[in-house]
Amino acid sequence: MTQTAGEKSSDYVPDKIQAKVNRVQLRPFGKRGLLWREAVDGWLFILPWLFGFLIFTAGPMLASAVLSFMEWEILTPASWVGLANFRQMLRDPLFYKSLYNTAYYSFLGVPLYLIASLMMALLLNMPVRGTSIYRTFFFIPSLTPAVANALLWTWIFSPDFGLANYFLQTVGLPPQKWLFDVNLAKPSLILMGLWGIGSQMIIFLAGLQGIPQTLYEAASIDGANHLQRFWSITLPMLSPTIFFNLVIGVIGSFQVFTTAFIATQGGPQNATLFYVLYLWRNGFDYFKMGYGSALAWVLFVIVLILTLIQFRVARYFVYYEVDEAV
């Protein structure tokens, strides 16, 4: 680079000298200073979420942990009772009833939802015309608000004028009481849950589309039929997705509340008194906030143990495609 006659000597700075000047100007901050400024910017960006988490999640959790050892009926001062709330659970028949109802819903409903959503994803993964329209139709019901969903299915299962009994009578079967029958109330609520499997279906569909087609082509060349390809390729490659939906499904099933609260109020004869519904009753109907907090922490421990068991067992059936050193 040459200097022209009209330029002053002070205006001429070669590129190498300018780079050195820039390094000298950044030297007071250094690498540690740049990392510190990036960390500060990161904390500033997450500060709104952090405040929300501390105020609306961590704060109430700590408060409920303290209340679980106290007796507090909102209108009266709280008093320390130690483990009395937990000892009361051992003598509470409705605690065992609600825990049984929730376990029944979980261990029957979660496998049904997994199988149904997987079969639906397999169908919607087929290369046919209008696939995007079909996917939209099957996914939209899962966007229905839980209250509207419960009201809709309460009408469908109505013993007097519901669609369910209408179809039964059409095929020559006797009408049922559905939500008003002690033996059919929980299975009816499980069937209601099929309306919202669209989210699991989308996750399965994404997992199916991530499986390399070359595996199916190689299996076809070797003579594998559809069932063999599904069993030897689809399920192993889809096992991480199955595991994810399983964990989320079990956690969600132990928190079922809205459908029972709207459709049955826990009846008939406490047949649909699920754990969270019983927790809500103690806290907001009977104003036993201490006992309700103790129930909440027992539920937390149960869900945590079930999740840890699933992660422990997952190593035997979940396949992760990783590069292994030879």
Cβ–Cβ < 8 Å for 179, 264: yes
| Average pLDDT rounded to a whole number, residues 147-162 | 91
Kindly tell me if the per-residue pLDDT of 24 is higher than 50: no
What is the distance between the alpha carbons of residues 259 and 240, in angstroms, rounded to a whole number? 29
105: left (phi over 0), alpha (psi -120 to 50) or beta: alpha
What is the distance between the alpha carbons of residues 183 and 185, in angstroms, rounded to a whole number? 6
pLDDT band at 130 (very low <50, low <70, confident <90, very high): confident
pLDDT the model gives residue 129: 86
pLDDT band at 84 (very low <50, low <70, confident <90, very high): very high
pLDDT band at 325 (very low <50, low <70, confident <90, very high): very low
Out of 1.10.3720.10, 1.10.1740.10, 1.10.240.10, 3.40.50.150, the CATH code matching 85-314 is 1.10.3720.10
C-alpha distance from residue 181 to each of 31, 104, 174, 269 (Å): 70, 16, 14, 9
pTM of the model: 0.82
Would you list the domain boundaries of the chain?
14-67, 85-314
